[in-house]
Amino acid sequence: MTGSIVVRTTEQGLPLGIRIEASELYGKDPMQLAGEVLRLCQRSANRAGLARRKQLEAAGIGAASLAHSGLPTEAELARQEIVEEQDYDTEPQSWLRSI
**pLDDT tens digits in sequence order for the chain, 99 residues long:** 456 899 988 888 899 999 999 888 888 888 988 988 998 999 999 999 999 999 999 999 999 999 999 899 999 999 988 888 777 655 555 555 555
3-state secondary structure of 37: helix
What's the pTM value of the predicted model, to 2 decimals?
0.74
The b-or-e profile of 58-81 (16+ CB within 10 A means b, else e) is: eeeeeeeebeeeebbeeeebeeee
How far is Cα 74 from Cα 17, in angstroms, rounded to an integer?
Answer: 26
How far is Cα 87 from Cα 61, in angstroms, rounded to an integer?
Answer: 35
